[in-house]
A = this chain, B = another copy of it.
């Protein structure tokens, strides 16, 4: 069995009937709706659903139908930047599916919704057609209000659909990426400077690991500090390597690691590959996991 996750961000976080209509569209397509997080001040809702590729495809298409019928960006305001009614839709490989499968699914859904709704669609991250379109922020710059002018630039011809905004739904960004892991390491000290120095050492933006975002924060109620991270590609920058480097950097300041924690969900492979690394299991294969065999 192959499982892909889809996490559409929809530009409606205030009208419960619209949010429920979107959720119901996903359920009706027989996708497994794992989470719905609406934010009123952002005026935005994040849906998380998963299933086999064809089910996730149907869920995504149904969501576009439901959202575009109910959301008019000309009447939309909120704190979060957005370019469209269904603002951004990443597909994430979970199990028995590759990144290439997710890129193919993103292109397929992009082709379908652009045609059906006359909607301009940009492909992003792993599905991007050029390096300048990898980052969501670059595509979204100018937002809905600047979209008409942006689409007229030769550099910003959409990957699918017309080079003009959909009147009420704007444009949409669809793509493929690895699952995110929210990962924190707590240090046995109250020295915030140490947490900040370690965060700077491991994050990409200041010379650290490519797929790490990190900051040092204080947990005042516990009298300790934390290196708070997002791991954006656990296959290329694995948890165990980040943990070991943070531990080593902390030791250099005479500080011990108290514990680490994953916030929310983590793909099993991020943990089984960590176990295989520590246990020096060079020949280990995911096919040896009993649960994978049961479902293979």
Contact = CB atoms under 8 A, between A and B. Distances in A.
B261 A284 contact: yes
B291 A95 contact: yes
Nearest to A274: B275
Interface stretch (A103-111, A167-175, A263-271): A263-271
* Chain A interface main SS type: mixed
Contacts of A274: 275, 278-279
A288 B265 contact: yes
Contact of A266 (B268, B271, B288): B288
A149 interface: no
B290 A94 contact: yes
Nearest to A282: B259
A276 interface: yes
Contact of A271 (B95, B262, B289, B293): B289
Contacts of A279: 239-240, 243, 260, 274
Interface of A: 3, 5, 32, 34, 50, 94-95, 179, 239-240, 243, 257-262, 264-268, 271-272, 274-276, 278-284, 288-294
